[in-house]
Amino acid sequence: MYYHHPKDPWLAVNLSMFFPGMGQFYAGNYLQGFFFFNGQILLLVLTIWHIFAAKGNTITGFICLGIATIFYFISLIEAHFTVYKYRNDATLEKIPRQQKNLWFAIFFTRLLPGLGHLYLQKPMTGLFLLTLYLISWVINNFSALFLFINPLICAASIYHLSLIFTRRRTARLRLLIIIITGITFTFGVMVNYYPQWLEKRFDKFIIPSQSMEPTLQVNDLVFVKKSANYVPKIGQIVVFTPSENIKKVDPDPSDYYIKRIIATPGNEIEIKQGQVYLNETALQEPYIAESPQYTLKSMIIPPNRYLVLGDNRNDSFDSHVWGLLPKEVIVGQAYKIGWPPQRIQSIMP
């Protein structure tokens, strides 16, 4: 069965699956470990910044993500061969077939629970775990409450594999199995719940009309930053759901709208002679398509209400039609055009 060696190529692979460089550190190749570990951190930071930051370039972000993915797989291969060459054992198989290897079985299990058991010629257990995993994967599509089940199945499968290898299971090996099992479960839960966490903070919105031209064009993909504590400021562009006033004017409202904040609570607003006046001072608006050809009587914006207008002033379904916008329907701040490539830019005021 399995015989424990000081260094095992497939243990190095399993460690690097958690994060590039870990397998190299285990192998004692600290220079390469430092290179892969810090290189991957740099690529991930660049990916996140370019995709989500207002001034980042979305294309550059996806290029960095692609490089990071390639970098990840290279680190796995390199971790394996680092230990394999270090062992310098002519009887050692690159892919263990004759002599079953626990770490290779665990590697397969982390790819898909059940595969490691099939590799160890435990077909009934392997098919059971594989079926259970696929069923739980389907259940995940219906409710986020069960996103922890897949990582749990994977972790349990890894631990069960270790029980199959009964020979020479030292205390050190048992501890290592427990650590890898725990980290596998933790990482799995983090990866599964990360999209849920991200969705609560960021959203995407495709521009459906010409109401925000020239700032936003039809079919622009806009990134929206969401926060329960968000307080809109003058000049910012916000996405919101239809308020009761909108529903009264339009019996078939859109799911979302996007406009610019022109006046916030406590400010006086007036529109006359093609000019917006904020606190009796003409508001400088270089972003509009043309001057408004309508008037709005002077008013003080009440608490938790906002006056919003489209940049295409005379072709926009906005506050001059349906009134003030309640704060509670605001989804978040639109801060960046993320697509198409030629339109990528910040739309922060």
Residue 214: asked if its preceding bond is cis (omega within 30°), the reply is yes
Residue 211 is a catalytic residue: yes
259 a catalytic residue:
yes
* Catalytically annotated residue among 16, 136, 259, 336: 259
- Is the CB of residue 186 less than 8 Å from the CB of residue 163? no
**From the candidates 75, 211, 243, 319, which is the catalytic residue?**
211
Nearest CA to 311 out of 260, 348, 349 is that of 260
CB atoms within 10 A of CB 49: 15
Percent of residues in the chain assigned helix, strand, coil, to nearest 5: 50, 15, 35
Please state, in angstroms and rounded to a whole number, the distance separating the CA atoms of residues 336 and 276.
25
- Taking Cα atoms as reference points, which of 103, 114, 86 lies closest to residue 14? 103
DSSP string across 285-304:
-TT-SS--SS-EEEEEPPTT
Confirm if 337 and 318 have CB atoms less than 8 A apart. no
- Residues taking part in catalysis: 211, 259
